Structure 1
Amino acid sequence: MNPSQLSEIHSSPATLRKLDKLNLHTEWDLVLHLPLRYEDETRITPIADAPLNTPIQIEATVLHQQIQFKPRKQLLVQIQDPSGNILHLRFLHFYPSQQQQLAVGKTIRALGEIKHGFYGDEMIHPKIRAASKQDLATTLTPVYPTVNGLSQLTLRKLIQTALAHIPDEDILPDHILQSLHLPSLLESLNLLHAPPPEYTIRDLHNGALPAWQRLKFDELLAQQLSMRLARQKRLTGQAAAIQSQHQWATALLAQLPFALTMAQQRVLADIRTDLAQTHPMHRLLQGDVGSGKTIVAALAALSVIEAGFQVAVMAPTEILAEQHYQKLSQWLRPFGIQIAWLSGSLKKRDKEQARAALLSGAAQLAIGTHALFQDDVVFHQLGLVIVDEQHRFGVGQRLALKNKGHDVHQLMMSATPIPRTLAMSFFADLDVSAIDELPPGRTPIKTRLVNQIRRREVEGLVRHACAQGRQAYWVCPLIEESETLQLQTAVDTQIELQAALPELTIGLVHGRMKAAEKAAAMNAFIQGETQVLVATTVIEVGVDVPNASLMVIEHAERMGLSQLHQLRGRVGRGAAASSCILLFGEPLSELAKARLKVIYEEHDGFEIARQDLNIRGPGEFLGARQSGAPLLRFANLEEDLRLLEQARHWAAWLIEYRPDVVEAHLNRWLSNRAQYLSA
């Protein structure tokens, strides 16, 4: 069944505009718009039996009403129920209509939580209804996510109308539902939108409830179907088969001061096999920080350019893009390769020259930031797109670059290892290669947790490291002082460190500096002209200074696991023993304690990524927030691994034997969001 447009069941343009803000465009969108919580208006609780801090409904008569002006204007109402017990209601914001509703002598119903207050037990801003005007509800009352101007009452009526339009028959075959012991979809939706009173609030928020299991399975099945179909479509694509003798790559390898690890050789072979196919490569190259992904990408780019095609390398930050530009220029320019540099801060004339070189084919390699996927950037013959730290781009941005050419080969790189469940779910259309071996000579990094009050001792460690001829990073989370987060700023830190360590030269780099200033500061550190680099998290990825052996991270308790692991990976790139000091302030939240414990105990990027997924959810890994398209609304990858595996199994069966079901299911669940899953 095709989902009906909402204009067919509601004619008000104003309401449709508000529904559009919630991304509700069809009947199926409406019925899948599930409650945030529930209110129990099915029973009356005597004041004497009412628990504290728990939503309940009471019925009582108004004894007294007054407006109090100190310490602030508020409406105070005293009510009494048939048992003779008294309760106070307090309203900090109120209207004359509410005063009339709460006139002395009126019997009302109040729904809210009772708390201990200055005047005794009270409800603050309860929901009020006249008791005589309606019977008790027969189901729990759903409370939905909404926007200004769209009332809960209107939303409930629209959803109930949409539910009435949903056909009784299930589109999924009975044997699939029976094998998983799942209820029908309509039964599940009716339960979650209008639960009978025997269900507790806790029951309804338990993901193991059969109704929730049905929705989670359907959502995961839609995702798996979409991924498999995207893969099938890609395998029928007409990409250029990159036929290269790899002579330039062989020459570059001969010039390098190091040899590729076995893992790097294996991954490079995977990429070359993909590039030789007539369907577009869609490969994710993942490897922990410092594992040597960049040289593998460079060797792949050389083979593509040698075969007569162009390559685009895109990075999420200007600093990382500049690092790629410098490193790839050093490796590739000896082969006569012209490299175009594109970033948002480039002067207009320089941008025009770079665009012209790419359009004519004079430039074989483009390196840059998001500027690469602007409409006015046109390639002569784009053969390969390399996206570094791909999860930090929105999927819409990745699509824009991919669409610069017809069926272009894609290589995505990430130093954030993808946990197995995430790979099974969101990367089902990707071929995944992992560099699971660090280059020889990399020294293990010792991690230390240090309280902020011992800051002077840490400054002493910096002095000692620099006296040994080494360099140090000092990372701060903010650039400017914030009233809400009193954290040390990068600018102040540079001043304080310079005063504490006058014998050292201390540089500064942060995201708000001009590109030339950032490049100069980074280059001074790379050349050893500055011993200490104070930085914000712009140095999180891509920076490679082998002489830096000490990393100090301020307010580590404020950062995520992936970010801490990335920053720690900036050191340990040379022969000297390296350390990472995590400065933390107290008190620590339980979440912060858990994060710091993981980063202290773990050095395996995959285990850290698994823990990070539990804390942050998949959206952060995938750049979902920039796309505007929700990823998983109902399923939880860690909790619902069994359902995910079942969805993978049945998706393959349905595509082969029931294409009619596949089309109907995707139409219902993904609507206009399917293209994002192919990015």
Structure 2
Amino acid sequence: MPEALPAPVKAKSAPQKAMEKLGLLRDIDLALHLPLRYEDETRLTPIAEARDGDTVQCEGEIVESHIELRSRRQLLVRIDDGSAQLLLRFLHFYPSHQKSLAAGARVRVRGEIRGGFFGREIVHPTFKLVNEGAPLADSLTPVYPTSAALPQAYLRKAVGSALQRAPLEEILPEQAVPRQLPALREALMFLHHPPPQARLSMLEDHSHPAWQRLKFEELLAQQLSQLQAQRERARLRAPALRGRRGGLHEQLLAALPFTLTGAQQRVCEEIAQDLARPQPMHRLLQGDVGSGKTVVAALAAAVAMAAGWQCALMAPTEILAEQHFRKLIVWLEPLGITVAWLTGSVKGKARQKMLDAAASGAAQLVVGTHAVIEDKVSFAKLGLAIIDEQHRFGVAQRLALRKKLASQALEPHLLMMSATPIPRTLAMTYFADLDVSTIDELPPGRTPIVTKVFADSKRLEVVAKIADEVARGAQVYWVCPLIEESETLDLKNATETHAELSAALAGKSVGLLHGRMPPAEKAAVMAEFSSGRMSVLVATTVIEVGVDVPNASLMVIEHAERFGLSQLHQLRGRVGRGAVASVCVLLYTGPLSDTGKSRLKAMAETNDGFEIARRDLDIRGPGEFMGARQSGAELLRFADLQEDSALLQAARRLAPELLDHHPAAARRQVERWLGSKAEFLKA
């Protein structure tokens, strides 16, 4: 008997593929896919009462229908409802439209009323053929976020049936939910199908109790996930690293050519206390640009190395990693510490030598880029992992560094550093499982930076100012934007600016630095600029972090409107690092968007990184601060950190109680709202 052929796999339709692309895979996903806005199809407006500019729904009999050949082919349909007539104008239509919209048919239409040459009209109304007396919708019609391949009608039907099947039963104990909030199923049914009398303003600004219930549920899941991660980490073991009196830590302090600020001393003590515990440290060290985070990292490494353990420091770019490497060699090698250097550009025998030094323990400190976490890199005894500009690394990369400790029974301590200060509300939400140390004091001798904003039409005046500065011995950065759509265009922009400034500053050395240059060439250009032999450095954003040239006192940022606020602040921090008064010029090309205006205004008004961070959160929301924690998917879809602080506090209070007394409910809550995204919170 011949073997039966397998049943053919039915191809997915375009709308099904579009739903998958939007992440609408489960019934619960569709139930939580909430409307952007609503249309009122619950009432009819007599044509005579409709006013210009109003969006209305009317119904009438078609009294005339014909195609007109003016500048373009149009289908004109006139309806009459007994009070007045209304023209429907279709600029795009199919033969089926002309056939169905024939004289004598009854049609219900919706759209914006306009005054036209031939009386009032609606251009491209939505319409459906009806019988006289056909019932109206009994709730507001939802308009969902969608794509071109997913029509609203298809999506409405899919959401409607998913709402009937989705597991929307109450998970939380009755006393856990704030009394004023409705049940979850009730809240979702209301938001998908609000009654005609619902206050649209409360639905649109998300202040309605139904919205509040969803926000509370989401915040609670997020807080539960954070607390679970924190408790899981508390159960892990780490080497207890205690520096002995008179040891490496004290020797490094004595050898430093400067005195620590009070803020640096405070955070060093917080880190030392963490390292001495047998649980892994999970601490974020945040401080404004130039606040001295590198020396705090060096002192933390000294504690680990003095206890006989290795340390790894990972930075996002080779320029920043090399900057750390050079500082750490100067501070640590005289004290007998071997520092290894490991980046993608270290090849062949030199690379093998570094790998062997890390694996044998001969290198007590390994500094590098992503190369530090490659599979071939192993450590004899990794006790402390330091990640600079932590938001630039992905979850998988941070986890990989933590797994470099050969003994699986122990975890290394983890210190993450960021020059993008985290606003308090954000720290409470996305970084609730982290201990946060803040350096809120700049070292003495740093001069405030004056920021000036000019339109690009002032470019020649700015170039003339650069000539004056260079003539008196100053050094200047000129930053060109990174145009993500086209590296070629980006390079052309930087190259043309380099040529322009070289011509304007005859006899002066003008350098060029961009991402496509070989590492050795980049290093040579930076060495020229750092030594003072180069007057002007034209660069893309590769100089955003870590570059430290105290003599540089002027920075020009071209097309400043293309940069994010925190990035502008990071770039500005490359000047003002010495005792010379420094200026940052932001050149913009108009017209500016509201967001662009807000960013440039913030830069001109404050040098305070914490205030910059707060304004950036207001302008753009939390996504940027989350960095790779969100891994491309926002963890909070409904709650707003600024507006919903009361709900956040309630969720924070409830999370430990749920985990302690209702662990099954807590687990289901996290699964329903976060699914696999809960993992992003653990790194």
Q: Which residue of structure 1 lines up, in the alignment, with residue 21 of structure 2?
A: 21
Whether 2:449 is the aligned partner of 1:445: answer yes
**Where does 1:28-427 land on structure 2 (aligned, <5 Å)?**
28-51=28-51, 55-60=55-60, 61=62, 63-66=64-67, 68=69, 70=71, 75-82=74-81, 83-92=83-92, 94-114=93-113, 123-132=122-131, 135-146=135-146, 149-165=149-165, 170-179=170-179, 181-245=180-244, 247-347=247-347, 354-405=354-405, 406=408, 407-427=411-431
Residues 532 and 96 of structure 1: is their aligned pair in 2 closer, same or farther, counting only changes over 3 Å? same
1:595 aligns with 2:599: yes
CA distance, structure 2, for counterparts of residue 452 and residue 262 of structure 1: 42
Partner amino acid, structure 1, of 2:271: I
More displaced, 620-629 or 602-611? 620-629
Candidates 633, 651, 654, aligned match of 2:655:
651
Work out whether residues 297 and 386 of structure 1, in 8 Å CA contact, stay in contact via their aligned partners in 2.
Answer: yes
Mapped pair 1:584 → 2:600: no
Q: Which whole-Å deviations, capped at 9, do the CAs of 1:587-635 have from their partners, x for residues lacking one?
A: 3333322222222121221111111101011111111586133211001
Match of 1:495 among 496, 499, 509: 499
CA shift, 1:286, in A, is 0.5
Cα offset, 1:373, TM superposition: 3.4
Which of 654, 658, 665 is the aligned partner of 1:661? 665
Which stretch of the first structure deviates more once superposed, 98-107 or 418-427?
98-107
In structure 2, the CA distance between the partners of 1:211 and 1:358, relative to structure 1 (3 Å rule), is same
| Cα offset, 1:361, TM superposition | 3.7
1:5 matched to which residue of 2? Answer: none
Counterpart amino acid of 1:665?
A: Q
Matches within 5 A, 1:597-676: 597-624=601-628, 627-676=631-680
Q: CA deviation at 1:460?
A: 2.7
Q: Which amino acid aligns with 1:325?
A: F
Q: Does 1:508 align with 2:512?
A: yes
What secondary structure, in the 3-state scheme, does the structure 1 residue paired with 2:110 have? strand
Seen in structure 2, the aligned counterparts of structure 1 residues 276 and 54 have a Cα distance that, compared at 3 Å, is farther
- Equivalent residue letter for 2:198: Y
Amino acid at match of 1:673: K
Match of 1:526 among 524, 530, 551: 530
2:248 match: secondary structure: helix
Amino acid at match of 1:501: L
CA deviation map 1:193-249 (0-9, x unaligned) = 111122254332122111111111111111111111211111111112223337233
User: Residues 62 and 618 of structure 1: is their aligned pair in 2 closer, same or farther, counting only changes over 3 Å?
Assistant: farther
Q: Give the direction of change, closer, same or farther, for the CA distance of 1:530–1:39 in structure 2 (3 Å limit).
A: same
Conservation of the 8 A alpha-carbon contact between 1:480 and 1:490: no
Of residues 659-668 and 598-607 in structure 1, the stretch that sits farther from structure 2 once superposed is 659-668
Q: Over residues 144-196 of structure 1, what are the superposed CA-to-partner deviations in whole Å (9 max), with x where a residue is unaligned? A: 234565444443334333332456753323333345x2111111111111111
Partner of 2:540: 536
Query: What amino acid does structure 2 have at the position aligned with 1:241?
Result: A
Q: Deviations over 1:403-439 (max 9, x none)?
A: 4445221111111111110011111111110111111
Partner letter of residue 66 of structure 1? I
Match for 2:41: what amino acid? E
Q: Distance in 2 between matches of 1:350 and 1:26?
A: 52
Q: Distance in 2 between matches of 1:112 and 1:566?
A: 48
TM-score (ref. length: structure 2)? 0.89
Closer/same/farther in 2, CA of residues 312 and 147 from structure 1, 3 Å limit = farther
Q: Secondary structure at the match of 1:132?
A: coil
In structure 2, what is the Cα distance between the partners aligned to 1:375 and 1:54?
A: 64
Q: 1:68 offset after TM fit, Å?
A: 4.8
Where 1:111 maps in the other structure, the secondary structure is: strand
How far, CA to CA, are the matches of 1:253 and 1:397 in structure 2? 32
Q: Which runs of 5+ in 2 are unaligned?
A: 1-9
**Cα separation, 2, equivalents of 1:612 and 1:44:** 45
- Looking at structure 2, the residues matched to 363 and 144 of structure 1 have their Cα atoms a distance apart, in angstroms, of 57
Partner in structure 2 of residue 571 of structure 1: 575
Q: What letter matches 2:65 in structure 1?
A: H
Contact 2:635/2:677, CA 8 A, preserved across alignment: no
Counterpart amino acid of residue 63 in structure 1: E
